[in-house]
Structure formats: C-alpha cells, structure tokens
Amino acid sequence: MRPRLPSLNALKAFEAAARHESFTRAAEELCVTQGAVSHQVKALEAELAIKLFNRERQRLIITEAGREYLAIVRDALDRIAIGTERLIERKNAGVLTVSTSPDFAAKWLVHRLGHFAEAHSGIDLRVSATLHHVDFAREEVDLAVRHGDGNWPGFDTVRLSPEKLFAVCSPTLLSGRRRLSKPADILKFPLIHMDSRADWKNWLQEAGIDDAVVTHGPVLNRASMVIDAAINGQGIALARTTLAAWDLINGRLVRPFPHSLPLSRTYWIICPKATAALPKIVTFRDWLLREAASDLRQLQKKGRAARSA
C-alpha cells in the first residue's frame, strides 16, 4: 500500500515560499492569495508535526528541518516537471508507435511501410509485433491494430475492412494433371489448416460438398504460415481477405473458386479516446483505411477479370 502523501498544493506552496523567503511573493508566483499560501504551509507543518519556518519580525526564515525537506520536495517537483514535459513532447512529436499482431505485421503492414514513409516523412514510425493486447496505460504505444469483434470499451475503434474466408493456392496448381476445375478437385491436394480442420469442412459445405474427408494436410498455428505454405505450392489454404490481399494482388496467390464464408471477427484500429484526434494518429489511421479500401477495389477487379476469363 502506498504511504499517504502530503497535498501537492501544500508542497508547491512550501517550495515557493522557501525559495522566495516570502509568503507574499510565493502567492504572486502561484496566482493565489498570501493567506492561501500561509494556510497551506501551516497545514503541511501540522501534518508533518515539524516546524518548517520561523516567522521573525515579518521575515520568513526556513528551519534546518525545512531546509532538509526542501531538497527532497524540490527534487520531486523537478522530476515531475521533467517527466511531464517529456510526456507532452512525445505526444506531440513525430514518433508513432504501433502495436500489431505478428500475422498482420508480416502479411499486411510490412510490405507497405515504404509507401507510408514516402508520403509522411515527418512521422517516425515504430512497429511492435506482439501477440498480447497492448496496455496503453503502461506501454509506450500510440495505436494498435487487433483482430476481434470491435468490443473494446473505453477506446476509439474503427474497423479496418470487412472480411471473408476463401480458398487460395499457388497459380501453379491451376494447371497440370491435377488441375482445379471444380471445387471437389480441392480434395486431390493437401489441405493446409489453421489450428483446426473445421473451417475446411464449412467451406466445402458452402461449395456444395457435404461429408468431405478433410483430415489430410498439415495443421499450422499462424495465419502467415498458412498463407506462405500455399504460396510455396504445398497445398490449398483458407485465408481471410486482409491477410491474403497483398499476395492475391501481386499474383503469388489465386482464388480458384469464388465461394467464401463471411467473418464477424475482423481487424480493428484501436487507440485511447483521449488521443484519437492527435494529428499523427489521424494520419496513420486514415492511411490504413485508404490502403485497405484500395485492396478491396483491386481484389474486386481481379475477381471480375477471373470470372470473365
């Protein structure tokens, strides 16, 4: 349990009075009355049971105990002032620290950092990829991108983009002896699973294939690993829109069939409400949303082209 501390106003009154050796001048500095300063100092003396000043012939003389206490109080107030100044400087400076999951950092964010740096050279971007949800009150993080349902009470939350779950594979699997011409052909290939095999069963049912055996293929525990395995031609994977977008747009992945499953849990941009309007946070959030919207437009264009072909 933290020990009881004296009133900060009382400590400020004591420090100013000791520095000026005058209640009157201390009151002028603190923009209060002389009586208020005198009252605060007397209350502090009463609380400490120590005399801090002697009043002699309208002069204020600090006692030996007061002088020792003044060194402690002055050091503490200086530390608070310096810490406050640094905090304000950091809030307004160009450093922007962003926390994301490792999957989002690897498959979405890292490819685009050069574009952001070119457009916003005044922002010094720092990215921390971590699995734990950031504690904004304890960690030096300005903004986070996290996966969930958007229910983070007390925070400013903006959905990055709507998402679906669909089959993806390397373009090389669309040709050859075992080419993919209908959804059932997927079962000829290894199925790459994320955590469990339930998603594949659901997707195949959506594609009109019931009671399919989906026990073949590896089970991986990271979405980025699942996507990279599909890029390398190791099988067919199910991927969500956001994480697969970059590789789909750049031709490393293709969607062999249009069937998809809607997803309620998506990526969200999160920050404390108190800092949501800071220019650097607004700039980065708007950039994230523009990039995500551009992805959707390009994916829709590719989808139309594939259907025409």
Give pLDDT tens digits for 220-257.
989 999 999 999 999 999 999 999 999 999 999 999 99
Would you say the CATH fold of 95-163+265-300 matches that of 8-92? no
Compute the mean pLDDT over every residue in the chain, rounded to the nearest whole number: 88
Give the list of residues 6+ apart from residue 203 with CB closer than 8 angstroms, or none: 165, 166, 167, 238, 259, 260, 261
For the domain made up of 164-262, the CATH class stated in words is: alpha beta
- Does residue 179 have a pLDDT over 80? no
Q: What is the mean pLDDT of residues 167-178?
A: 83
CATH level 3 topology of 8-92? Arc Repressor Mutant, subunit A (1.10.10)
Question: Is residue 240 within 8 Å of residue 165, measured between CB atoms?
Answer: yes
pLDDT tens digit string along 56-85?
877 888 999 989 999 999 999 888 888 777
More confident residue, 274 or 91: 274
Domain extents in the chain = 8-92, 95-163+265-300, 164-262
Rounded to whole angstroms, how far apart are CA atoms 290 and 297? 11
**What CATH code is assigned to 95-163+265-300?**
3.40.190.10
Q: Nearest CA to 200 among 224, 226, 174, 181?
A: 226
Q: What is the mean pLDDT of residues 138-161?
A: 92
- Does residue 274 have a pLDDT over 70? yes
The reported pLDDT for the residue numbered 134 is 83
Residue 309 burial (C-beta neighbours within 10 Å; 0-12, 13-18, 19+): exposed
pLDDT tens digit string along 195-205?
877 889 889 99
The pTM assigned to this predicted structure is: 0.69
Q: How many percent of the chain have pLDDT more than 90?
A: 50
More confident residue, 124 or 133: 124
User: Which ranges of the chain does DSSP label H, i.e. alpha helix?
Assistant: 8-20, 23-30, 34-48, 64-92, 102-104, 113-119, 198-206, 223-231, 241-249, 279-308
